[in-house]
Structure 1
């Protein structure tokens, strides 16, 4: 299986481990901010999601949103958390490039960046 041109990886910084089993959706946003679902999946044991877009699908220039269902992840661990979900909105300007959007997560905060 080839890797999706948009991928993600979640690290639970409170546990020092990958965040496995997190449901993730990928949407393309129009000018009004409304999303069209392009893909969905669940992070693997390494906290990675490599197949967000179906095989052969290439993204176009535009604005995208990754949404991470964090409430269920923390509930499964028995941990109270502040954010029930995390949405990361980003602009894709070079669709021929690979876009990796990692999430560093803990029950009361998160950060993200463009990875490689």
Structure 2
């Protein structure tokens, strides 16, 4: 059974990104359809998969991480406008029967991602 999961790691402070709002969208051409909004738990993860089973279909998706709000909530001194604010990751799911893990490693100055396991 396929599933989509995510995880936020705060690389500036060396800990999980707890309390980060994450939005999930399905993409179709220029159209964008909201699927889910969640907040990461104490371990920087979601309490359940973002999508799984028949809800996960092949196609293009977008995750939006509210990283700037997260760092502001920690009292981080951020410039205005924020250098890293909302991190948008667009990715494709080719095999809906597989596990797609899309983690975000983030600081107020940079971010990266990869297909995890």
| Deviation by residue 1:50-102 (Cα, 9 ceiling, x = unmatched) | 3323x755211111000001121011111115111001000100001111000
Counterparts of 1:1-116 in structure 2 under 5 Å? Answer: 5-32=3-30, 34-49=31-46, 50-53=48-51, 57-79=54-76, 80=78, 81-116=82-117
User: Structure 1 unaligned runs (5+)?
Assistant: none
- TM-score normalised to structure 1 length: 0.88
1:57 to 1:69, Cα distance in 2 relative to 1, 3 A: farther
> RMSD across aligned C-alpha pairs, in angstroms?
1.8
Q: How many residues align?
A: 112
State TM-score, norm by structure 2.
0.88
